[in-house]
Amino acid sequence: MSESDQNPSQDQTDTATTRKTNNKRTVLTLALVTVLMFGFAFAMVPLYRLVCSVAGWNSISTNSAEALAAVKTTTSDTEGTVENAARDIKVQFDATINGNVAWEFKPNVRSVTVKPGEKTTISYYVKNHSDKTVVTQSIPGITPWQATKHFKKIECFCFETQTLKAGEAVDMKLQFVVDTDLPDDISTITLSYTIMDTNRTESLKPDKSNLPSVGSL
């Protein structure tokens, strides 16, 4: 009789031990993945700030001096600049809410027609429908991407975080200028904002019922 036949209980014990070890490894792996996901979420805004700073994008960080320098009159001595400044550019606005948060977020106007070098002011509306104070950060994006360096924000709610008390609603100001060097083949620019809770633990909780979504005019 073989040794395995003599000790069937030992084989069962070894199998159970192996199964427990594999289960522990699986649990630890899932826990590590979860921690890394939350760590990435917490680092999202700081990383975005760093990338914008290194790349020189006029996004979260303010670049008001450069934006103001882009404000040119149509009385320029350069004929090409005068013609370009006389163009009509359509600027569209969009809004998205990141995470499962009880907010309302939308532009107060869906689009405006501007001329290059002309300062324009609009605003976004946000309301905190939750029962607690929140600190928000708005992340901008521009389409087409080729227009990014030609779209200068003079004043923007995205430059800083915004704190909203429970039930509070505010209009957040945006002042911008499209410079006269915008390529001739671009006649429409879409500016999109994604607003998120800087407390990523709250915004990444499971879905909640009856959450207000992006409003429409």
**Position 203, amino acid:** S
| Per-domain boundaries in the chain | 3-46, 60-203
Q: How many other C-beta atoms can be found within 10 angstroms of the C-beta atom of residue 156?
A: 25
pLDDT band at 204 (very low <50, low <70, confident <90, very high): low
Q: State pLDDT tens for residues 112-159.
A: 999 999 999 999 999 999 999 999 999 999 999 999 999 999 999 999
Q: What kind of fold does domain 60-203 have according to CATH?
A: Ctag/Cox11 (Pfam 04442) (2.60.370)
The pLDDT tens digits for 54-76 are 444 444 444 555 555 555 444 34
Q: What is the pLDDT of residue 61?
A: 45
- Report field, pTM of the whole predicted structure over 0.85: no
- The tokens for 201 are 């633990």
Inter-residue contact 195 to 155 (CB < 8 Å): no
